[in-house]
Amino acid sequence: MLFFFNKNKKIINSKLKILSGYNFRYRSVGKQSEKNIIKYANHFKFDYEIHKSNKFERHFYWLKIKMLIDNLEDGNHEFYFWLDADTFFCRYENILNHIDESKHIFIHKNFIPSKHKTKYPNVSYFSEGVNVGVLMVRNTKWSLNFLKNVWNKKKYLSHYWPDNAAFMDELGYKAEFSKISDNDPKKNVLNKFDFLSGQWNSMPKRNYENPKSDEFSNFYFDPIIIHLAGIRRRDRLKFIKKYKHLFI
């Protein structure tokens, strides 16, 4: 008896699907991030979907929220892992080995130089917040409802952090949009979150080439993911060219 096997058939690990996307304006960075993300996905046999379109109903930053909601409603995977199109893996670490799978949403908590001023000279406030450029959710009704609430916060449509501000508001980190005392997430919400190490969302300074810059940095040594958040597009391209040896 003869058995025939399709050697070209790709085996997909259905547990996790990676999501990303970019538009034509962002293609110079997005194409390079896309290649990097696909290498990571293929290494672990994760499914992936990368949305490339110039048409979207809101600012393109909101794409992540819509794609996560749509995929959660389809419900074909246990986890969905969004990555901004300026993120780059530096080594092959399986995200599933670094999380508490009983939680619902997985994100890095970072520090933000606060807009609020102290009454003391040479003293500044920092507030806790999150960056949604690296964001994983478990396929649960709670995650879906949380993201739908984020999507419905239309008061942030014109905000300079649009989707990120809406997410922080829903989580309860509101100090940078309100009073400094309003960073008060509820315990029953925090209990649903697993906060990732900064190695999963390591962000260089905007002025990363200037060692004398006193700009605050959320960059972590030996990163798993480098995220070029907040850096001008031309400087992102310079960073990629200069430090591409760091990426997988």
Higher pLDDT, residue 5 or 63: 63
Q: Please, what is the angle between helix 162-171 and helix 141-151, to 10°? A: 130
**Enclosing H/E stretch for 46:** strand 46-52
Query: Residue 169: pLDDT band by 50, 70, 90 thresholds?
Result: very high
33 pLDDT higher than 90 = yes
Question: Chain-centre distance of CA 60, in angstroms?
Answer: 14
Tokens matching residue 52: 């490339």
What DSSP state is assigned to residue 217?
Answer: -
Query: Residue 5: pLDDT band by 50, 70, 90 thresholds?
Result: very low
- Taking the C-alpha atoms of residue 220 and residue 167, their distance in angstroms, rounded to an integer, is 23
Mean pLDDT of 81-88: 98
4 pLDDT higher than 90 = no
Tokens matching residue 146: 């949380």
Type of residue at 180: I
Q: Which residue has the tokens 């190490």?
A: 197
What are the tens digits of pLDDT across the range 89-130? Answer: 999 999 999 999 999 999 999 998 889 999 999 899 998 999
Query: Residue 2: pLDDT band by 50, 70, 90 thresholds?
Result: very low
Helix (H) and strand (E) counts in the chain: 6, 8
Domains of the chain and CATH, by start: 13-246 (3.90.550.10)
Cβ distance 18 to 87 under 8 Å? no
* Percent of the chain predicted with pLDDT > 70: 96
Query: Residue 80: pLDDT band by 50, 70, 90 thresholds?
Result: very high
- Judging by DSSP bridges, how do beta strands 124-138 and 13-22 pair with one another? unpaired
Q: Is the pTM of this model over 0.85?
A: yes
10 pLDDT higher than 80 = no
The DSSP code sequence of 117-134 is EPSSTT-EEEEEEEEEEE
Cβ distance 144 to 72 under 8 Å? yes
Q: How high is the mean pLDDT of the chain?
A: 92
Q: 3-state class of 168 per DSSP?
A: helix
Q: 3-state class of 215 per DSSP?
A: coil
Mean pLDDT of 158-173: 95
What are the tens digits of pLDDT across the range 173-182? Answer: 999 988 888 8
8 pLDDT higher than 80 = no
Query: Residue 11: pLDDT band by 50, 70, 90 thresholds?
Result: low
- Taking the C-alpha atoms of residue 206 and residue 216, their distance in angstroms, rounded to an integer, is 9
Q: Which residue has the tokens 């003869």?
A: 2
The DSSP code sequence of 50-108 is EEE-S--SS-GGGHHHHHHHHHHHH--SSEEEEE-TTEEE-S---GGGGS-TTSSEEEE
What are the tens digits of pLDDT across the range 37-52? Answer: 999 999 999 999 999 9
Q: What pLDDT is attached to residue 3? A: 41
Q: Which residues pair with 134 in a beta bridge?
A: 83
14 pLDDT higher than 90 = no
Residue 84 CB partners (closer than 8 Å, separation 6+)? 20, 33, 64, 133, 134, 227, 229
Query: Residue 1: pLDDT band by 50, 70, 90 thresholds?
Result: very low
Type of residue at 243: Y
